[in-house]
Amino acid sequence: MRKTWLIFSQAVTVSLALLFVIATLKPDWLQRRPLGVAVATVTQPAAGPIQPVAIYPAAVGPGSYAAAAKRAAPAVVSVITSKTPHLNHPRADDPWFRYFFGDQESPAQSGIGSGVIVSADGFVLTNNHVVDHMDDIDVQLADGRRAKAEVIGTDPESDLAVLRVKLDKLPAVSFGNSDALQVGDVVLAIGNPFGVGQTVTAGIVSALGRNQLGINTFENFIQTDAAINPGNSGGALIDASGNLMGINTAIYSRSGGNLGIGFAIPVSTARQVMDGLIKEGQVTRGWIGVEPRDLTPEIAETFNLKVSQGVLITGVLQGGPASQSGLRPGDVVVKVADTAVGNTAQLLNAVSMLKPRTQARLGVQRGASEIDVQVIVGQRPKAAPRQPVDAR
């Protein structure tokens, strides 16, 4: 036993001595390195000694969205616009006129928004208010290339526009399924806020189907708390896999900056508008010619209606599709085809999705009776442009 203890004590003494020597001469050998860090030796110029360099691998854990950003960011572009000043008076270029009345030129306008390349053919999806009334439109890619853009078509009612640039080897975004989004899903907003350059912000889906905001005629917004600021208009809202889920359009703000409430047009809507603009130069929507009003509990009680949700028809255009089908003021529309409608925005969206010159079924509550009304859908007339809450 005594001999064993002696051997143990000698081994401890030698170990401590060795540890002391290493700590004195090679202290870096004893430094702790974080897990996942590889150390490699690289050759530096002859003037300096060879030093160990720590190489930290890219994070691959669930907390990083680098892969999604890397996949989608090359397809997000800056849209740079300008408007040439024009004379407000036919004699504004006369020196005597200018002497007495001053310079009558309208000031030049310029702006910076964002856009998303949706095909390798050069089609770019952006907001209508980014390019509206602009004479000169340039698109600048994330790789630094810049080119003039041609306006293929615009749709003020959804605040969308399609541009085209002629460049080779264009990266295109991958479309996702915005109908599958749920509140709480992680989303990233990519754009060019304040013109500082491409920026990626992260957040979650705060709400779905936002409408009656007074931004567009057709509203079905994705609400997100991902930071969206002026300059983000027309940029991409993507999911955690890098798929396009929406086009960033507007912000709720009292200061002009982000307050955590941003709105994006779902890609399902954007894609339908884009296809119409590319193929026909316009968006064709259904129309039935009614004046709708949200059905409130007070109205339902006043008119002794048997339904609590739907859209009350307060007026029918004489000779319009609804009038010819037998729809009357006082009817409550509860369904369009197989889509339930609970307010005027939902009715407007559902009818607009119908193809003109086709027959559609409306589920109607008329007094105490539930009836179906067959209507031949008309084509929606063009409306005047609306001014959105600008996130450009």
How many Cα neighbours within 13 Å face the side chain of 354? 28
Q: Is 159 known to be catalytic? A: yes
* Beta strand 174-175 pairing with 243-251: parallel
- Considering 78, 155, 158, 159, which one is annotated as catalytic? 159
How far from 343 is each of 142, 202, 236, 348, CA to CA, in Å? 42, 31, 29, 9
Report the distance separating Cα 195 and Cα 143, nearest Å: 16
- Considering 178, 233, 253, 325, which one is annotated as catalytic? 233
Strand partners, 236: 190, 247
- Considering 78, 114, 129, 239, which one is annotated as catalytic? 129
Q: Is 233 known to be catalytic? A: yes
Q: 180: burial class by Cβ within 10 Å (0-12, 13-18, 19+)?
A: exposed
DSSP codes, 133-188: T-SEEEEE-TTS-EEE-EEEEEETTTTEEEEE---SS---PEE--GGG--TT-EEE
Sign of CA dihedral 97, 101, 102, 107: negative
Identify the CA nearest to 269 among candidates 246, 300, 243, 244.
Answer: 246
Report the catalytic residues: 129, 159, 233
